[in-house]
Structure 1
């Protein structure tokens, strides 16, 4: 599937602006929809930031630069849509409501994708008239920096829909990984396993939160950016893994709830960057500076990686 000429992104929150910037750079005219005008105004600024980052990445371009428009009218947003990506807040009832609206306003040939980070695709599609054209298309955050998309078909998603979304992602230089349905999808399951163990070790006083971040960034992250866990097993030796796992796995955190340090922060209304305090404290200007530093370092890493990443898997 080449990039459609007209794409609609429903939702202008954290992910919408970056996704729209990638689509527009690949040649699509993109309409961003939200129910709140202030959110659209912020999204317009977010798109400009994302476009600047894509320039620094020398990201793939289509044969034209697509135009962007913003609207609070879902009818206007979908009037010319050839492809729809739903990126509204992560609530099943809200997503189902939006998907039903979309189905009533577009033809049966239009693919409807969801950027849900873990709600089962089959569940979201259960009331659809044409569930065969519905699929999960989960982007990583920030979506204009991390060139990975998880493609997750539901039980009734057609092969044609699945293949079209994979081809679309590949057309603008992103890796598309095919996954079966599982709560959280694959990326978040691995990430949350790391965060669960990290929080447990900090909570037990084994390591400080500062040293934990250094340990994971250098000891794990640096390595995994170059060799994935499956290849790492071969590199280390399956016999070595067998020996270590036989005693270590039983000692890893098995908590099935949210760690106390997180619930304490939630009760205190300290959410991290968005509130100026979380596990760390941030003074005036610190959050903006830290965000800029993170994006800058992600750009450096992405520019150093093979393109596409799958080319070095043999």
Structure 2
């Protein structure tokens, strides 16, 4: 992971409330990208312990090539621990809450944060599934509040979801988007709905995987092997709409018909997919699908796909199987 000394627009001083695995990773990313970061937790002792853990971890990551040289020293200079939530947020430009994923604990933390932070400070929650509009009720001046959903482990997963509540100002989301992108992350603005996009999709897949086990079709280990070496392999490089358009939406519609005949209407073809197929929009083979990919880009896209799959296959062979799995 790289680090920089460049400031990020209006955000220079950051407080991270909740110094566990998720909050600690966020703190590392933001400190290494140029911000001054203060950690807070239930008390100063826990925050100080987290600070030591994060610096020691950065030293290990640095020696194993996962962080750039000098990362540990950067964290020693830019990352500190506070004795309380109030002390941590008192001069912050941006506060991210990353406490335990329950409504009560998050609302309590956000109430304390918004009461103690400067009026102009932007406040974010790292909730995985709780609607942002609901949590905004605990925040004074909720126009400065939004969801910023990082993925675990934060230093290495590139994607971050940005979720505005109805009260969130355009300035707030634009400022945070620029800040998170400057930290090297890939941002996507998604609507405020339980689970947002990443977890809604992830948990839908998990539910279906558990049902496959319950039906005796495969073991958990076999399912993991199938997913990681087939469509999950492709998902490392492309999203579901790009994969579908490349495969052919008529192929997808036919597969849904077979699935629905055996498994019921929960696996019916989506209406918008059926409509596109009926209109002759089949993906790359017809020039348009869910995505509108220019015909001139198709040869380069397919060439990229083959090179990318080859490179990913080579990486998997180099890394070998995950220990214990």
Where do residues 1-314 of structure 1 align in structure 2 (5 Å cutoff)? Answer: 2=9, 4-36=11-43, 37-38=45-46, 40-50=48-58, 52-53=60-61, 56-57=65-66, 65=74, 67-249=78-260, 251=263
Q: Distance in 2 between matches of 1:2 and 1:89?
A: 30
Q: Distance in 1 between matches of 2:260 and 2:54?
A: 43
3-state SS of 1:199 partner: helix
Q: Is the 8 A contact 2:91 2:118 kept in 1?
A: no
Q: Distance in 2 between matches of 1:20 and 1:50?
A: 12
Query: Bigger CA drift: 45-54 or 156-165?
Result: 45-54
Measured after TM superposition, the shift of residue 232 of structure 1 is 0.6
Q: Is the 8 A contact 1:84 1:110 kept in 2?
A: yes
Q: Is the 8 A contact 1:137 1:149 kept in 2?
A: yes
Q: Distance in 2 between matches of 1:39 and 1:127?
A: 24
- Gaps in structure 1 of 5+ consecutive residues: 255-296, 302-314
Q: Distance in 2 between matches of 1:60 and 1:144?
A: 15
- Could you list the per-position Cα deviations for residues 55-101 of structure 1 after superposition, in whole angstroms to 9, with x for gaps in the alignment? 83467999x94511112312221222111000011111221121121
Measured after TM superposition, the shift of residue 244 of structure 1 is 1.0
Alignment CA distance shift 1:39-1:24 (3 Å): closer
Q: Distance in 2 between matches of 1:247 and 1:60?
A: 54
4+ aligned runs moved over 4 Å, structure 1: 57-62
Q: Distance in 2 between matches of 1:3 and 1:48?
A: 30
Measured after TM superposition, the shift of residue 253 of structure 1 is 10
3-state SS of 1:202 partner: helix
Q: Distance in 1 between matches of 2:260 and 2:147?
A: 32
Q: Distance in 2 between matches of 1:144 and 1:253?
A: 40
Q: Distance in 2 between matches of 1:143 and 1:176?
A: 13
Q: Distance in 2 between matches of 1:125 and 1:12?
A: 22
Q: Distance in 1 between matches of 2:161 and 2:59?
A: 22
Alignment CA distance shift 1:51-1:163 (3 Å): farther
Q: Distance in 2 between matches of 1:209 and 1:245?
A: 24
3-state SS of 2:211 partner: helix
Measured after TM superposition, the shift of residue 181 of structure 1 is 1.0
Q: Is the 8 A contact 1:2 1:168 kept in 2?
A: yes
Structure with higher Rg: it is 2
Q: Is the 8 A contact 1:18 1:50 kept in 2?
A: no
Alignment CA distance shift 1:21-1:206 (3 Å): same
TM-score norm. by structure 1 comes to: 0.74
- Could you list the per-position Cα deviations for residues 198-220 of structure 1 after superposition, in whole angstroms to 9, with x for gaps in the alignment? 11111221111211111111112
TM-score norm. by structure 2 comes to: 0.72
Q: Is the 8 A contact 2:15 2:38 kept in 1?
A: yes
3-state SS of 2:49 partner: helix
Alignment CA distance shift 1:230-1:249 (3 Å): farther
Measured after TM superposition, the shift of residue 115 of structure 1 is 0.3
Q: Distance in 1 between matches of 2:10 and 2:194?
A: 29
Q: Is the 8 A contact 1:61 1:172 kept in 2?
A: no
